[in-house]
Structure 1
């Protein structure tokens, strides 16, 4: 018997994460999209050293924005009764996504730390990630049919050495001069690479070559 009243009570962590995923996802209510977003939020929470989603939201304004910016879908789920969440297909999908992520379930984002919705299509030329370089690694990720934006960046370092030359100086010692060489350390042509795409969302992680050369953090 499918009786919502017999469903377990929704915890505050489940509700908060479900509401965030529901608010960030497209109105397609795609279960894979919701699960992937919830997994990214939990991964960001853990990477930044927080024990709970609530603590993460409180301290990280970038990811807490949806909680305070009046997002209608976030507010709808966050204010809904448990029975209403279970009874609504979209909100129920979001709740399942939250439970999956909080329990360490399947990560449909494939290791992503970021995502983008339709704005990366409508605001392509001015989009932050596009300007820094994106690469679609699998056509199935490209839910908006956008182009790669790649630009080769080569990182160099200079090495200065002393080399002997013919002759001696006034003190009778062998002459020497400094020689500076410019050596390539590495290169990359994009900062963000896609990991998945569902519904109205593309998921991303940082290019490992970029992280190595910039000595950056995967989650930033």
Structure 2
């Protein structure tokens, strides 16, 4: 796991070798992001490194608790804690809950895996949210940030490293969808994994995968469903069944493709941009064999004919109207052609079939 740092007020890192306590203020910065105070701690909270760039000395140190410089004790709300003795200086008010343990014991003598934010007894540490750069870089999990189910994103420009290789983040934001709902790590990986599996073999570009994401999102809007719900419909998005491939394949292309899939998913969730210009279908190297081509399509731009195929519009008519082509291309990216049903074909169908696409709901 990479060493990381994150907080709204102090820049807090997961200390070297996993020591130092949860929520400890290792690096404190000024308003321009320069480190003005640096502290390191032993596992039970005793300071072994403390550096200052100026006279400012924050009292909030180990576990983010306030240190009384005169007594050397930390204030834990219900009790005071002595980091040199590794003991609380008064008994636990809830000691009857912890039979067989010393009432003065701190974190069951296991401060690396437990914390005691109130002095009332040990508990599991705060969550370790998953952090991704908007460019798709995965920074692993960050302690003291959200929960293990959360995803946070950060602009790469707001990521830096200390001399010891610790990541420092500024302006972390929880990943949410267009409706303001938090996106869980399981949902995020399912979305990214699906477009990863749907994209071209090799190091598929972010734009290609963003286009696929946009198509699925357009389908979801047409069907009144969520993007994940649209992916999960049987037979609609083949890549959903292969979503687990992301992050498991080896090679430089797989690494680039994984990062691009994460970046495309983040952009798809956080912006309203549709790079496909309203497409509902995407096809790759087998385009000439798909229904989009064989049933009749119009290349609205010569640049869309990336496979140098013959024009194949296939005009038709019925009692409700006529059409010059059933499908039309909207854009391309990488090895993928994006398309949709033409308005003339849609208008020529029975009123109950004026769907934007042939989905599982509207046929």
Determine if the TM-score, normalized by the shorter chain, exceeds 0.5.
yes
2:332 counterpart of 1:197: yes
* Equivalent of residue 240 in structure 2, options 35, 56, 67: 67
RMSD over aligned Cα atoms: 2.7
Aligned length in residues = 176
Is the Cα–Cα contact under 8 Å of residues 297 and 314 in structure 2 kept in the other structure?
A: no
Is the Cα–Cα contact under 8 Å of residues 131 and 149 in structure 1 kept in the other structure?
A: yes
Q: Which stretches in structure 1 are left out of the alignment for 5+ residues? A: 81-86, 157-184
User: What's 1:217 paired with?
Assistant: 355
SS in 1 for 2:200: coil
Inter-partner Cα distance in structure 2 for 1:42 and 1:193: 19
- Deviation of 1:142 (Å): 1.9
User: What's 2:223 paired with?
Assistant: 48
User: What's 1:116 paired with?
Assistant: 283
Q: Which stretches in structure 2 are left out of the alignment for 5+ residues? A: 5-136, 143-150, 154-183, 359-363
SS in 1 for 2:356: coil
User: What's 1:155 paired with?
Assistant: 318
Inter-partner Cα distance in structure 2 for 1:3 and 1:78: 11
Find runs of 4+ consecutive structure 1 residues off by over 4 angstroms: none
- Deviation of 1:44 (Å): 1.2
* Equivalent of residue 97 in structure 1, options 239, 261, 264: 264
SS in 2 for 1:190: coil
More helix by share: 1
TM-score by length of structure 2 reads 0.44
Is the Cα–Cα contact under 8 Å of residues 16 and 78 in structure 1 kept in the other structure?
A: no
Which of the two has higher C-alpha Rg? 2
1:192–1:78 CA distance, 2 compared to 1 (3 A): farther
- Deviation of 1:115 (Å): 0.9
TM-score by length of structure 1 reads 0.70
- Deviation of 1:3 (Å): 7.8
User: What's 2:190 paired with?
Assistant: 16
1:105–1:79 CA distance, 2 compared to 1 (3 A): farther
Inter-partner Cα distance in structure 2 for 1:151 and 1:186: 15
